[in-house]
């Protein structure tokens, strides 16, 4: 199965991840969600850069992301293709951070 292509050019990257609270999407404890909604700190720039780079490469250049973060990038790409607000799942966030830590990005 080929990688899906998108008609819309992936240009407006600013709105990718300045919404850290979406990370709380898959959290286990209900109480965390209440707390998470109160906080608004942005995700750090290095993280944004890594996600943006791989997402853009996948959407625009049809380039498969590294295996460790492929689900995370493809989930975001799915949101993008469906016209939904992109939502970063907690597990995906952790996977990207682990990838960055492993590769010292």
Can residue 64 be called a binding residue for another protein (CB under 8 A)? no
Q: Which stretch binds another protein (CB under 8 A): 33-41, 49-57, 58-66, 69-77?
A: 33-41
Q: Which two tokens stand for residue 79?
A: 């949101």
Q: Kindly write down the DSSP assignment for every residue of 46-75, as one continuous string.
A: HHHHHHHHHHHHHHHH-PPPPGGGHHHHHH
Give the span between the Cα atoms of 28 and 80, in whole angstroms: 25
Instruction: Pick the closer one to another protein by CB: 41 or 85.
Output: 41
Q: Which two tokens stand for residue 5?
A: 């292509």
- Residue 30 CB neighbour total at 10 angstroms: 7
Can residue 94 be called a binding residue for another protein (CB under 8 A)? yes
Of 5, 29, 83, 104, the residue at the interface with another protein (CB under 8 A) is: 29
Can residue 78 be called a binding residue for another protein (CB under 8 A)? no
Give the span between the Cα atoms of 76 and 92, in whole angstroms: 9
Minimum Å gap between C-beta 60 and another protein is 27
Binding residues for another protein, per CB under 8 A?
20, 23, 26-32, 34-36, 39, 41-44, 47, 90-91, 94, 97, 101
């Amino acid at each position: 199965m080929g990688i899906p292509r998108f008609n819309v050019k992936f240009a407006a990257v600013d709105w990718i991840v300045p919404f850290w609270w979406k990370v709380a999407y898959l959290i286990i404890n209900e109480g965390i969600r209440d707390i998470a909604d109160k906080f608004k700190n942005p995700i750090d720039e290095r993280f944004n850069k890594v996600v943006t780079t791989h997402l853009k490469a996948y959407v625009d250049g049809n380039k498969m992301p590294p295996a460790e973060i492929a689900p995370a990038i493809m989930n975001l790409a799915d949101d993008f293709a469906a016209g939904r607000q992109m939502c970063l799942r907690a597990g995906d966030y952790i996977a990207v951070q682990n990838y960055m830590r492993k590769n010292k990005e």
